[in-house]
Amino acid sequence: MSLLESVPNFSAAQDARTVSRLHEALASSARVLDVHSDLDHNRSVFTLAGSGRELVGALERAVRVAIESIDLGVHRGVHPRIGAADVMPIVPLKAGDEHRAHEAAHKLASRVGQLDVPVFFYGRLAARGQRPADFRRGGIEGLSARLAAGELTPDIGPRRLHPTAGGVLIGVRDPLIAFNVFLRSDDVEVAKTIAARVRESAGGLPGIRALGLALPTAGRVQVSMNIEDWRATPPHRAVEAVAAEAHAQGVEVDRSELVGLIPAGAAAAAAQGPLGLPSLAPTKLLEPQLLDVLSDWRS
């Protein structure tokens, strides 16, 4: 059986019962590998693995929970969002599984559309390769206005947002690393300046998407990054760049945070410097090798 990954993001963290119900729904037919909830973001990120059929069933059940439990009209969180079940990527883990990922994503989109929630395609599922930021621009109010003006049309489902659950972004993409760097500052403008300088779209690091966010609970600001191409910019290089920009602003890095899981290759790349190794290939890591042996044995 070929495994696919999914990393759904739900607009819930402050209500522990909702997070628990989402976890239960996702675990009903898929393997939940990781859960990351952030109170300031008011967002929970789950990492799942399973066959296409297992992921579609699990994600559909979780969307139903999100519709029942999350009202964006009263939702408060610092992370941009357009839906209660905000974004649901399907990730092929092998080159030969691309078609399976597309098939699963389309099946999921069809089922979500039947729940009276509009679906917007992004990544390799989208005709123009749109990214989540293209839909989140202006917030849910801005998205609603663009729909009403006919500037944007959902790919599946109703032509207007669900009154409490908004919309859902569904896409196919490569594995990415969600990585946050906390700064010893409460000045969000500093974080926004640093984010603007390190993100690829502004001429910064390749494969980096970045936001500067204030975290009231933590009393810190954060540079929140998606590292979309860790081979071009591994996490330790991104941290070095943020630290350098922070130093230029007279601010120190406090700590970093991994959201979800990290590919073994990226962890190996980060270990090269401290270990004094010129290279550390993923083939030198014990657990991935054992998993390959186990996979071959089961097949």
Amino acid at the residue 219: G
Q: Is 79 a catalytic residue?
A: yes
User: Which DSSP symbol is given to 200?
Assistant: G
Structure tokens at 247: 């130093």
Percentage helix, strand, coil, to 5, in the chain?
Answer: 40, 25, 35
**Secondary structure (DSSP) of 72-109:** TTT---SS--SBSEEEEEEEESSGGGHHHHHHHHHHHH
The number of C-alpha atoms within 13 Å of 45 and in the hemisphere containing its C-beta is: 15
Q: How far apart are CA 48 and CA 5, in angstroms?
A: 6
Side-chain half-sphere exposure of 139, counting CA atoms within 13 A: 8
DSSP H helices in 169-225 = 188-198
Q: Of these residues, 41, 79, 106, 236, which one is catalytic?
A: 79
State the Cα–Cα distance between residues 284 and 268, nearest whole angstrom: 9
Active site residue ranges: 79
